[in-house]
Amino acid sequence: MCLAIPGKINSIELQYDGKVRMAKVNFGGIVKEASLEMLPEAEIGDYVLVHVGVAISKVDEEEAHKTFKYLKEIGDLGDLVDVDDYLPQNDD
């Protein structure tokens, strides 16, 4: 139930008499609505993590590379890992 999925904000509109920001978020081709009330800083083009219709976090694009660099950072297997092979690709 804690399932949450990252998607890209396509558009933002105001609802509830302008009090609430709702976004259309693209999840690899499927577009769903998500409330931005908990992410006041989120803008069009941002990747956000959405859980039960609410965006709960912005994906940090810099930090997203860390999982691919970690083995290199800690040493041993480093030579085998070419970070560039694994970096996230844009999918829109």
* DSSP-derived 3-state class of residue 81: coil
Per rule CB under 8 A, is residue 90 in the interface with other proteins? yes
Strand pairing class (47-51; 5-15) = antiparallel
Query: Minimum distance between the CB of residue 51 and other proteins, rounded to whole angstroms?
Result: 6
**Length of the chain as a residue count:** 92
Beta bridge partners of 33: 24
18 binds other proteins (CB under 8 A): no
As to burial, measured by CB atoms within 10 angstroms (0-12 exposed, 13-18 middle, 19+ buried), residue 7 is buried
CB of 24 to other proteins, least distance (A): 14
Question: Is residue 70 involved in binding other proteins (CB under 8 A)?
Answer: yes
Site residues (CB under 8 A) for other proteins?
A: 1-8, 16, 19-20, 27-28, 32, 35, 37-40, 47, 49, 51-54, 56-57, 59-61, 63-64, 66-68, 70-71, 74, 76-77, 80-81, 86-91
